[in-house]
Structures are given as C-alpha cells and as structure tokens.
Structure 1
Amino acid sequence: MRTNMQTSLRTKRTNTRTRRRWTAPAGVYSVVAFLAAGALGAAQPATGIPTEVVQLTQFGPALGVAVAALLWPSRTRGLLRDGPAPGASPRLLLATPLLIIALSAIPYALLTGTPHATDPLSLRHPFLLIVVAQLVGACGEEIGWRCFLQPLLRTRFGLLTASATVGVVWGLWHVQVLAEAPAYAAGFLLATVAMSVVLGLALEEVAGLRRLLLAGAFHALVNLGMLLFMDEETGRPAPMVLFGLACAVAAVPWIRRSRRRQAVTIPATAG
C-alpha cells in the first residue's frame, strides 16, 4: 500500500512538472502576444505606417516569443532550432492559398454578380512594397503561432489537437473580429482553425528558418489574395463566411493525406 502511494505521488509530481513545462511558456507567450498586439495597434496611427502596407499588430506574437526566450532560453531555442527533415512539398503548401482564394472569390463574385478584383496598380502604395511588407508581417506572426506555440503544444497533444488549438487562439487574438456580426466572427474562426490545421500538418517535420518562411509565405499569400479579390473589411458576413468555408474545404485533402501517411507508417513500424 505504501509503495503504491509513493508511486502515485511521484506520478502526480511528474505530471505536474510536465504540465508546467508547456503551460507556463504557452500562457506567458499568449498574454504578451495579446497585449503587445493591442499596444502596437494603438501606436500605429502615430507611426504613419499605412495598414494597407503592414499592420504592426502582426509583431505581437514575435514579442511574445522574445519574452519566452528571456524566461526559458534553452526551451525556446529548442522549439525554434533547425531540423533536418524536409517536410511537405513547398509547392503543394503554397498552392493551397491560391485554392482558398479561388474557392472564396469565385462564389462571392457569383453571389453578388460583381467581381471584386482590385488592380494592384490602383492601390495607394507600390504593390511590391506591400508584398514585401506582408511577408515580413506574416513572419512576425508565424514565428509565434507556427514556430513556437505549435511545436510547444505538440509536446503534450496530438497533431490535429495542437493545430486546432493554435487556430482557436490565433483567431481569438484578432479580437476586433469578435466585435463583428456573429456569422462574420464564426467564418473567421473557422478559417483560422482550418488554416492552422493545414500548416500544422504540412510543417510537422519542418523546423527553423524553413518552417518560418513557408508559414510566412502561406500567410502572406492568403492576405494578398484577400486584399486583391475580396472585400471582407467592409464587415459584411458573406465574404468572411465564404472564406471560412473555403479554408475548411482546402484543409480536407491535407487531413486525408495525413491519415493515409499514418496508415502506411503504422503497419511498417509494426512489421
């Protein structure tokens, strides 16, 4: 009896230490990412940087990672370091945003009877500048979501659970969206969860700079596609709902692909 009690106590202490290993960094990162994004968003008008070019809120997650690196330097380095595995084909991953935009923009144009295409030359700022700034801003987000929080949660949860959880936190981080109509907010949250699942599955075996660049490029392509072919910033629910559904549809082949790979790997490992 005494031995069983001692074993139970040791197990509880081990479980508590394991939970703290991921809950504390995840909690600190999330709080800093939320607060820093709010502060940067409030400061942007004073900087004169146009939101069409880049939104400073995107660097909130990067600041969250910086704080985590100060508190848990070795742990953070371990999550961010390079790895040898090549992961999914970059072409397949980077084609997915194009599919998402097509599945969003075409039905929206048919629904409204108007193509919502914007000529890049008609934008108020050079399109090349916007592209570069969007990539930099997307990497400012993705170093937090896909390069820090995703691998951190993977130390405790399965791949789909970790990816979906990151998607929920990522969606709620866009707090301004929650002030819109319920259908708009629901469409946006569906989109962030679905895109997070795609990125989680595609980048499971990718680490370091390659992971950051692929996630950032995916994110930037989605943002640029929305800028050029959708008008969700008007607050109308239809484009955001269509966008969310398009992301969900685009995630299905990635989920099926992951399950096929697991089905092949498990018998091979067992044999």
Structure 2
Amino acid sequence: MQQIKVGIDAGGSLVKIAYQDNKRMQYKKYQLTELDQAMTWLKMISPGLKVALTGGRAEFIQKKHFSDALIIPEFQATCVGALTFLAEEGKKINEPFLLINIGTGTSWHLVNRDKYERILGSGIGGGAFTGLGSLLTSVDEYHKLTQLAVEGEKGNIDLLVKDIYELAEAPINGNLTAANFAKGKKVQHSDADRMAALANMVAETLALLTMQAARIHQVKNAVFVGSALVGNPALRNRLEFYFNMVGLSHRFLLNGEYCGAMGAYSFI
C-alpha cells in the first residue's frame, strides 16, 4: 500500500487537510471542535501516514496524534502553498506581490520568488465577521451571517458621503462610507443591514491596510487567500469594489483557504 502524505493546517477556527489520493490532490476541512474526529479519520485511511503540520495547534496535534510529524512555520507554509496554487491555476503574477491571508485574523506577506516576509497583521478578519456578527444579530452560524450580508443594505446604517453632501455634489464617490454604523438607532435597520455594514467595514479596513502596504513596498499586485472568503460573497465583492476603484491588481485563489495545508504538504 502506498504511503499517503498529508499536510495539516490547524488554525484558530478550522482544521484544513491536503492529501493525495489516486494521484489527485484532495482537500478537507473540519471545525476545530471536530479535531479528534478528523485525526481519527486520517489514521483510518492509511496506517503509515507521512504528516506535516502547521498553524497554532500544530504542536498539540504532533504530541497527541502524530509524534513523527514535521512542523512547518505557519507563514512559510502559507506562502509556499500560495505559490503552488498560483502555478497550478496558471495565474501569472509579477513579483514581488502582497499575499493577504484572511482567516480568523488577517496577515500580510511580501512575496518575492522564494523569499517571503510577514509585514503586517490585523485582528480584523473572519473571526471579527462571525463574532461581531453574532453580537449584532440573533444569528451565530457563519453561513447564515454571510447570507444576511448579501441581503442587507449598508447605507441603512452607515453614514455615506452622499448623506453629508445631501444638497451638493460630493468630491468623491457618494456611496463610500463616511462613518461606519454612524446612523445607529436613529434609523430603522435589519439584521441583514447590520451584516452588510459589517462586511463592508471588514473589507474597507483590509483594503486600506493593503493599499498602504502596497504603497510602502512599491507593489502593484495582491493575492487574497483564506477561509473568511469562502462562501462570503459580500466580503469578496466589497474588496473587489475598493481595489477596482484604486486600480490595484488582485486575484483570489480557488483553493486559497488550503494554502497552509498545501504548503505543509510540499515539505514532505
């Protein structure tokens, strides 16, 4: 029986797995609460796995499940995985470029061929979207929150530029946000409106930080990866809106949420 190689990325919310089966790469993900179930399943598919681990819970998994596993630094695994997926998807990009990994939080990496450096981090990401979303609404399930964000209208709770320049021509796009959530309880709004405003606030924050990093490092291209983009069209659409507006070239990788797992797999 052929020995199976497995890359595992165990982060703050999810456990992501990359492995080869019948000469094809396969990808699976589990909630962190399902960690033991996921590791039991892996041990069942092959008795002699070769495992590489990355992420915040890599050492925990090594001690409890795979004592011989390699541990790959998280940022290194993410960048290597992103370069692998770029090549697989045939997406050519001029280097250097920014790699933005939107997971529970968000990290920015400057990638230049085989060199990569983490240059920035933020607590704004998928964790803020889900956690703050559960406080703003009566919903705590991620996919329901993403659906609400699509259905809502951020202008029902955000103060927009056109609200300020009500009787005059605005000097910038009137639909841009002047102040997030500024209308507060003074107006009627729904759970969907609050989630639309939240998705926009996350996207605005990440876009501004990305544009500043791109200017500082003189980079014209950005690649976005991470689990917070999966099944979250409101967040992705708002990011695209801002980058199209300023002319920053950007790409979203199809399997971008598995960059860490794929990067770890590459070291076996």
TM-score by length of 1: 0.23
